[in-house]
Chain A
C-alpha cells in the first residue's frame, strides 16, 4: 500500500466510457510474440516471490531449513504444522495479534468514513462563509507525514490516560484518514446533480433528510472504495501500531507480531512463512472480492477536483 495520500486527478474523460474498438486494433501491432513473452516473464517475476514463500509455509520445518522450495516438486511433503506453530502461544504466538488486527481495523474504518461523510456533505452542499478556504485547508493537511505528529500525540495520549489502549490506534488512524476521505467523498458528492438536492429542499427536506435519503444510497460505491482503501491501510500499518501499541500481544496487531518475530527469530522460516501468510490472507481476500471498488476509488479521486 502506498502510505501517501495525494489525490489522483487523472484525465478529464470518464475513464470507463471511452474504451475504444479502434484503439484495440492499433494496439495489436504492439502485441508481437516478443512482447507477449516479455509480459509473461514480468508476470512470473512478480508472482514467484509470493509463491515461493506460500509453498514453503506448507513444507515441514526440516525441509524448509535444508532445501529450497523448488525441490518440493521432486519431493513433495505437505503439512499444516507451521500454521499451528505460528498461531500457538509456545511458537509464534500470533493468534492474539490476529484478533487485535480485527479489533483495531473495524472501528478505524467506520469512524473516519462516518465523520468524513458528514464533513464532505457540508463542504459539497451547504453554503456558508469561508467554505472554500476551509476545504482547501483540510485538503492541504494531506501532505503532512504522520511521523511529524507521532511524538506529541503520544504525550497527549499519556496525559489523557489512554496510552497503551486500542483507543490510541483507533483515534490516530481516524485522524490521519480524514483529509483524504473528505476529499474523495466530497468529489463523489459533487457529482450528484444539483437538481436532485434542490428538488428535495423544495419538498421541505432538511439537510439531515437529504443526507440520508438522497445522498447515502448513491454514495455506496464511494464509501466502499474508501472503506477498502482504509481497511488495507490500517490492517497493513506498522508505524502507527508500533508507536502507540508497543510490542505486546495485548493490543499490537499482526504486522507488529510478525516484525517482532522476524527480529527475534529471523531464521525460523517455518514460523515466518506461515505468519506472513496469516497476515496476508485477510487483506488479499478483501482486495480480490472488492477489487472493482478499489480500482474505482484509486482512479476517481480527481474526476472533478
Chain B
C-alpha cells in the first residue's frame, strides 16, 4: 500500500466515525426537556457500551473459557493449564521472575522519585531538573530497551578490542573484566528491571512532587518551630502527608510492572531465564501456538492485578475516612 493510500484510508476512517457521531447528535437533538433525558443518555452511551461489550467484556470472558481447554482449543482439560503454570520448571522461573520484578520495581522507582522530588523541590532550575528525570516517560519501552541494550553491550576481553557498552567500559576502567550482563542468570533479570525503574522513576517523581507541594505550610512551619530536623521532617511530616499519593504511585507502578512485555521481548526475547508472565503469554499464544496455556497466563495476569487494586482502594478509603 502506498503512503497516499494509507493516509486516504485514515481520512476515510475518521470521516466514517464523524458521520456516526453526527447521526448520534442529530438523534439526541430531537429529544428535549427532562423527559427526553433517557433517550439522550442512551444515544450518548450506545457507541461506548457496544464497543466495550464487544471489545473488552466478551473477549475477557472468552479467554477465561478458553483457559480450560488444550493447546488447540479443542478438548476440555479443566485446570490443567493452571497446574502447568505452577509445576512446569520453565513456568516456575517465569513466575519467580514476575514476583521479583513486582517486588523490586515499584519500591526503587518510587524511592528514587521521592528522593529526587525532595532534593530538587524549590531548588534553582527545578523544572529543568525534573524534565531530565521525566523524559524517559516519553520514550517507548522499545526505545528504552535499545538505549539500555547499548549500555550492556559486551565485547570479549582481547587486546585491540575496545568495549562499546558503557557499563563494561566502567568495569574495565575499574580493573575488572567485561561481563555478559544479559546472559548471566539470574542477575540478567536485575539488569532488565533497571530499565523499568529508569522509566517509572519520572512518573513517581512528578506525582509525588505535586503532593509535596500541596502539604499545607502551617504544618511544615509548626514542625520547624518544634525544632524538627531534615530527617524528622521527612519521616513525620512529608511521608505521612503524601501517603495517599505514595500508595497510588506504588500500586500504579506495580500494575504496570506486572504487565511488562516490551522490555523483556526486545532485550532478551524472554531467553536466558528472563521471561515474565506477560511475555510468556505472548510466546505461548503466538509462538508456541498453545492457546489454552496462553489464555491461562492472561487470566493469571488479571488475577494478580486484583489484589493490588483492592489494596489501593482500601488504602484510599482509609485515608479519606481520616
Contacts and interface: CB of A to CB of B under 8 A. Distances in A.
Contacts of B265: 238, 259
Nearest to A71: B162
Given A2-B203, A49-B198, A166-B13, A151 B295 contact: yes
A103 B48 contact: no
A50 interface: yes
A199 interface: no
A280 B138 contact: yes
Q: Is the interface of A mostly helix, strand, loop or mixed?
A: helix
A134 B48 CA distance: 12
Contacts of B24: 118
B129 A23 contact: no
A127 B51 contact: no
Contact of B259 (A39, A48, A145, A179): A145
Contact of B140 (A96, A176, A235): A235
A110 B293 CA distance: 36
Given A46-B136, A52-B151, A182-B48, A10 B294 contact: no
B256 interface: yes
B150 A122 contact: no
A65 interface: yes
B55 A175 contact: yes
Contacts of A284: 135, 138-139
B6 A31 contact: no
Given A49-B151, A143-B306, A122 B44 contact: yes
A202 interface: no
Interface string B280-320: 01100110000100110111011001100100100010000
A176 B51 CA distance: 10
A230 interface: no
A126 B41 CA distance: 6
A148 B6 contact: no
Interface string B137-150: 11111110111111
Interface in B154-170: 162-166, 169
Interface in A135-183: 138, 141, 143-145, 147-153, 156, 166-167, 170-172, 174-176, 178-179, 182
A11 B211 contact: yes
A39 B136 contact: no
Interface string A221-265: 000000000001001111100110000001000010011001100
B60 A236 contact: no
B132 interface: yes
A273 B216 contact: no
A273 B146 contact: yes
Contacts of B162: 66-68, 71
A22 interface: yes
Interface string A74-93: 00000000000000000000
Interface in A174-215: 174-176, 178-179, 182, 204, 206-209
Interface string A1-16: 1111010111101011
B255 to A, nearest CB: 4
B78 interface: no
A51 B156 CA distance: 24
A219 interface: no
B131 interface: yes
Contact of A46 (B56, B133, B297, B299): B133
A116 interface: yes
B174 interface: no
Contacts of B120: 39
A60 interface: no
B198 A24 contact: no
Interface of A: 1-4, 6, 8-11, 13, 15-16, 18-31, 35-36, 38-39, 42-43, 46-50, 52-53, 56, 64-71, 96, 99-100, 103, 106-107, 110-111, 114-116, 118-119, 121-123, 126-129, 131, 134, 138, 141, 143-145, 147-153, 156, 166-167, 170-172, 174-176, 178-179, 182, 204, 206-209, 232, 235-239, 242-243, 250, 255, 258-259, 262-263, 266, 269, 272-273, 275-276, 279-280, 283-284, 286-288, 291, 295, 298-299
Given A10-B210, A26-B233, A151-B66, 6 more contacts: A28-B122, A110-B17, A178-B51, A204-B32, A259-B266, A279-B140
10 contacts: A1-B137, A27-B121, A46-B135, A46-B201, A71-B162, A148-B298, A207-B44, A238-B262, A284-B135, A288-B138
Interface of B: 1, 3, 6-7, 9-10, 13-14, 17, 21, 24-25, 28-29, 31-32, 36-38, 40-41, 44-45, 47-48, 51-52, 54-60, 62-64, 66, 112, 115-116, 118-123, 129, 131-143, 145-151, 153, 162-166, 169, 198-203, 206-207, 210-211, 213-218, 220-221, 223-224, 229-230, 233-234, 242, 244-245, 248, 251-253, 255-256, 258-259, 261-262, 265-266, 269, 278, 281-282, 285-286, 291, 294-295, 297-299, 301-302, 305-306, 309, 312, 316
